[in-house]
Structure 1
Amino acid sequence: MKKTWVLYGIVIALLVLLGWWVLQQGQVLETPNNSVTLVQDAPMHFWDSILEGITHPLSIFLLQILTILSIARLLGWLIGKMGQPSVVGEIVAGILLGPSLLGWLAPDFSSFLFAPNSLGNLQLISQLGLVLFMFTVGMELDLRILRKSALDVIFISQSSIIVPYVGGIVLAWILYQNYAPAGVSFLAFALFIGIAMSITAFPVLARITQERGLNKTPLGSLALAAAAINDVLAWCILAAIIALVRTGPAHSALLTIGLSVLYVLFMLYIVRPLLARVANRFFSYETMNRTVIAVIFAVLLLSALMTEIIGIHALFGAFLAGVIIPQNEAFRHVIINKIEDLTVVLLLPLFFVFTGLRTQIGLLNTPELWQTCGLIILFAVLGKFIGSAIPARISGQNWHDSLALGALMNTRGLMELIVLNIGFDLGILSPEVFAMMVLMALATTFMTGPALNGLHWFQQKFGYKPDAIPVLPEETQQTPFRLLISFGQPRAGARLLQLAQQLHILGETHALHFTPNADISISEAEIFEKEGFEPILGLADRYHLPIQTHYKASNNVPQEIIQHANRGAYNLMLIGSSRPLFSSDETGGMVQTFFEGIDCAIGVLIDKGFSQIKKVLMVYYDEQDAHLLKLLHQCFEREHMPQFKVLSYAEPTEVAAPYVEKGNWVVQTNLEMSSFREYDLLILSRNFWEIIKLQRYELMAYAPSILILHPGNEPKD
């Protein structure tokens, strides 16, 4: 081995010497002219070189993306903390990076970062992002949800387009003379304002229903189905309007619409069956190869290209390509996973900023212009609200659900921005009207959450309350023990259920699981829910135990868990331990938040790999640990329970007398942690856990699995 390294060193040294000799000999080949050129072309100053690198087009483009991505994610996170969809924050980020704020506060930096000659690249990349996004929107539409109440859904969805569309035409009649660009016909202006009033953002609506746990309720299903039909109809109408505006004469428009219909039929009845065969064969990560992905992208891009050539915009073709992807959940999930993160995280923020660069709020510099902006928002809100809520009420929904549906259908978000940019590119919207409509899209999306909160508060305060449940005589009342198992990792849920079963603390059992990301599609949420509960439900079947599951996707998981636990009047919540990123405390971070915010008792499991719990040791420190005796009374007074021992620092009280008589209560002032190894489970209080902070390392070294109990408060009525 040593000889090999010596030989290696000699070879490297000889190569270095050879290279040096060639460089020296090569200088002889230089001519005088070459020498002069080298002197004249001496390297630039270091800082000049740095400046040239910064102003290079590629550097500018990368700096734009970095700035856009950072600001968009930051504002999306901040807005998410306020209970709003993150897309609202990203839209705001786009406006702030445009002339409305950055261009006003730092015009020189704004003109450097977003120089006019650099916006062409930004626009093309953002358009690619929109094509991919509309493809995923088409895939997320699941028209199978229409089967439950198809007539009601069609009635509501059509009304939610017709009413605001007519309102938009009336609004166009009011605005046309003062705000329509020169040369734009009233027909084009009115038809476009009508569609801008009619759009509903299905993707944002889907995320709102997920965050609020409405997606599996009748109200949520109705809203999603109505929004799906709304989107399909709106995009078909928009395609017809674009054909009419682009082609001009009626016969040309009819020809474009006819070609569009033929193309849709071709995609539905020829391309779709072929894709169904592909989906049936390649439906998982394992079987789907890059050739299949290339075929899907080819269909997407060809569809977008054909609709652009026909004259109804590439986005409609991308949307249609997504719709015809076969209804194979696994197949769609794989494709969405490969596209959505790149699109939503990187490409869509570019579109928001490009829209923000077009949005000049500073143009609204008179009270009359702001009054007109308010009028646009009023027409938008009333048109959608009346067009959705009244038909819902007529179809049999109660007033609360009807009004909530009106609030949900008012969500416009990104879909509205796409429509507005199309109108701006076609020259139908002036810069002033474009700015007003962007503010309208932002306002209607932002108000959805507060409107739902207000309706919920009003119902709780003044609304209909069901008849009171008759109170049983005291001797016949039975309050079941309610257990909540909350977990993040699927395996942890099964482990917590196994612990509860072996300690006989099951009772009425509920399982709670959250996905810590509200920005997921409906199909993804269904898959995550299934995968999350699969281990615990499988174990529950083995135990022949009924268990109720609760699932949501949320950006604020700790707060959601606290709210659910406090609403449910549980007796005990079991959770796994959780160490923060910069701490080794097993009960820090999220667990500490639960201790402070949850009313019921909490059990924190530090799992060290128990299988069968046969011997249990409980540490009783002082009178503050009296709540541990409740667990003793509930668990260990039953047959076929594990052997247990109570290790007490204090003399036994009257409550402990039964355990003293059985010889299960041992008083010991010196804690010999090495003896813990003979037990399968160690139970101690949070009070004792905090007292032995300095001894935790030793405890963790010798102890088996540990259950830390926090007393909490009695469940609220």
Structure 2
Amino acid sequence: MAVPPIRMRPLGKARAAVIYLGMVVVPALLAYYFLRRADNPAGSGTADAKVDSGTLAQLLMAIVVVVVASKIAGRLVTRIGQPAVIGEIAAGIVLGPSVLGALWPDATGTLLPASVLPQIGILGQLGVVLFVFLAGLEIDAARLRGQESLAVVVSHVGIALPFMLGVGLALVAADQFRPAQVGIASYAIFVGVAMSVTALPVLARILQDTGLHGTRIGTLALTCALVDDVTAWFLLAMVLALVSAGTTAGVAMTVALTAAFTAVLLCGVRPLLHRARPVLDARPDLAVLVALVGLFASAWFTELIGVHAIFGAFLFGLICPAESRWSNRVRKAVVGLTMSLLLPLFFVSSGLRTEIGSLGLDASLWAWTGVVLLVAVAGKFVGTAVAARAVGTDWRTGLQIGTLMNCRGLTELIVLNIGLDIGVLTPELFTMLVLMALVSTAMAAPLLALLRRPGQEAPEPEPVAAGSG
């Protein structure tokens, strides 16, 4: 049975508009008015909403400015043979009070308003946690096979000498640069650690740019840097335990919890991950989920016990199966967001805390900056080169390894920001050490080029027994 059509009078545009206005727009406006009066008679809710909306807009604008500035600066420095990280760190300093804030304060307030700085800092810290996880993921113990003793000796001598020199320098300068609330031991040991680190990612990038990646000297330098990286993070964890715990009993408890957590990861979680590798290789979505949950849970626990979130993230990356299909998928999923967005925010957050103007025209402060640079570079360079020569390489090779191990880059910046956060470093000493990190990293590639043998793509170490020393 056919349904008869509904008969309707033609609806004119004017009549439709009146009906719509009276039955849709007016009730909606009345409902909004009464709800606003009921929820917030003073009108503060609307103001808060505007503030929240404005803060989000400002944060999004700041992210655009930071990412664009970092990438432009990175591209510029790569054209003169420097790692991109130099330009990205420099961009953070330029956007901060040292340059733009001093020359055009209103521009800094507009591009990076104070209301978004906490959010930028949190996003930057998230980037650091992910970056350190990636650093742990890159460490393959198989690379140490055949040269464990050599790498450990060269790396640890290259840490010990600048560490001792840094501790000595800190003690000499304690009256001027030690924060009053920080113990002399915590302060001096932290400065020693800051003098000792090597930036593994920057070193790897320099090896690729100079054609040394995959050569014997490149492999040796990279292996030493792997050992250096692991040792530096463990040293930093010990210092943080000392600072956060305060008492001997507190330090012992923090160290015991850290050791227990490390044992659980190595002896419990790591075998499970290796057994689950076939499933994770076949399920990329599950692999990424497991990695993110594992690294953030590990970071949360180490932050809870007082040795900083980065240590947990690094440990979890370290226990993941190296060079597996699922670790490669995790790396691809994490590295883009981390390197392109979150780390530039960390650079700017660091730049905003680096006030070169705090050194002013004070000749003594600039003299101390020179001493800091000299001690850091000489300690790392001499310690590594002499150790490499002692285990059987020629002097030129030893000097090249010493040059490569002087790269500090982002790793140093992470350590320094932690020091400033926990109050171990004063703003002046923080600025000095940031300048040291920039200069020591920037000088690595040019100095390496000077030490290359003419006519040879890659200098080779003299034959040595793989496990000698």
Q: TM-score scaled to structure 1, two decimals?
A: 0.58
Matches within 5 A, 1:702-713: none
Q: Counterparts of 2:307 and 2:79 in 1: how far apart (Å)? A: 39
Which residue of 315, 320, 336 maps to 2:310? 315
Match of 2:380 in 1: 384
1:325 aligns with 2:323: no
RMSD: 2.8
- Cα separation, partners in 2 of 1:309 and 1:18, compared to 1, 3 Å: farther
Q: Is the 8 A contact 1:279 1:328 kept in 2?
A: no
| Partner AA of 1:115 in structure 2 | P
Paired AA for residue 277 in structure 2: A
Calculate percent identity across the aligned residue pairs.
40
- The residue number in structure 2 matching 1:98 is 96
- Does residue 397 of structure 1 match 2:411? no
Q: How does 1:266-277 map to 2 (within 5 A)?
A: 266-277=264-275
Per-residue deviation, 1:116: 2.7
Cα deviation, residue 236, structure 1: 0.5
2 CA distance for matches of 1:306 and 1:227? 27
Partner of 1:56: 54
Flag the 1:22–1:443 CA change in 2: closer, same or farther, 3 A.
Answer: same
Secondary structure at 2:173's aligned position in 1?
helix
Aligned partner of 1:195 in structure 2 is 193
- Asked if 1:442 corresponds to 2:405, the answer is no
Deviation above 4 Å: which 4+ runs of structure 1? 13-19, 27-37, 52-55
Paired residues of 2:71 and 2:88 also in contact (CA < 8 A): yes
AA at the equivalent of 1:109 = A
Contact 2:198 2:405 survives alignment (8 Å): yes
Give secondary structure in 2 for the equivalent of 1:74: helix
Give 1:129's aligned amino acid. Answer: G
Paired residue for 2:420? 424
Does 2:20 match 1:26?
A: no
Given candidates 99, 104, 107, the residue that maps to 2:105 is: 107
Work out whether residues 143 and 225 of structure 1, in 8 Å CA contact, stay in contact via their aligned partners in 2.
no
Partner Cα separation in structure 2 for residue 32 and residue 197 of structure 1:
65
Match of 1:538 in 2: none
Which structure is higher in helix share? 2
- Please state how far the C-alpha of 1:280 moved relative to its aligned partner: 2.3
Shift of 1:118: 2.0
Q: Does 1:452 align with 2:448?
A: yes
SS in 1 for 2:108: helix
Determine the C-alpha separation between the residues in 1 that align with 2:85 and 2:17. 59
**Structure 1 contact 164–194 (Cα < 8 Å) conserved:** yes
Alignment of 1:236-251 (within 5 A): 236-251=234-249
- CA deviations on 1:289-336 (whole Å, 9 max, x unpaired) are 423321221101100001011110000000011001012432221110
Q: CA deviation at 1:337?
A: 0.5
> CA distance change for structure 1 residues 434 and 15 in 2, over 3 Å: closer, same or farther?
farther
Mapped contact 2:280–2:286 kept (Cα < 8 A): no
Report the alpha carbon displacement of residue 34 of structure 1 after superposing the two structures with TM: 9.6
Any idea what SS the aligned residue of 1:193 has? Answer: helix
Distance 1:18 1:114, change over 3 A: same
State which structure, 1 or 2, has the greater radius of gyration over its C-alpha atoms.
1
Is the contact between residue 83 and residue 206 of structure 2 (CA under 8 Å) also seen in structure 1?
A: yes
Q: Secondary structure at the match of 1:56?
A: helix
* In structure 2, C-alpha distance between the alignment counterparts of 1:439 and 1:431, rounded to whole Å: 12
Distance (whole Å) between structure 1 residues aligned to residue 175 and residue 251 of structure 2 = 25
Relative contact order higher in (CA < 8 Å, ≥ 6 apart): 2
Check 1:385–1:23 CA distance in 2 against 1; reply closer, same or farther (3 A cut).
same
1:185 to partner: Cα distance: 1.5
Pairwise mapping of residues 612-651 of structure 1 onto structure 2 (< 5 A)? none
Give 1:580's aligned residue.
Answer: none
Q: Which amino acid aligns with 1:384?
A: K
The partner residue of 1:292 within 287, 292, 317 is 287
CA distance in 2, matches of 1:382, 1:35: 70
- The alpha-carbon deviation at position 209 of structure 1 amounts to 0.8
Cα-to-partner distance string for 1:515-535 (whole Å, 9 max, x where unaligned): xxxxxxxxxxxxxxxxxxxxx
The alignment covers a number of residue pairs equal to 435
Call closer, same or farther: CA 1:30–1:444 in 2, change over 3 Å.
closer
* Equivalent residue letter for 2:235: I
What is the Cα deviation at residue 282 of structure 1?
A: 2.7
Change (3 A) 1:33 1:219: closer
Deviation at 1:113, TM superposition (A): 2.7
Please tell me the residue identity of whatever aligns with 1:273.
Answer: P
**Is 1:229 aligned to residue 227 of structure 2?**
yes
**Residue identity in the other structure for 2:417:** N
Q: Determine whether 1:260 maps to 2:258.
A: yes
Counting only pairs closer than 5 Å after superposition, residues 59-78 of structure 1 correspond to structure 2 as 59-78=57-76
SS of corresponding position for 1:282: helix
How far off is 1:275 after superposition? Answer: 1.1
TM-score, normalized by length of structure 2? 0.87
Shift of 1:90: 0.2
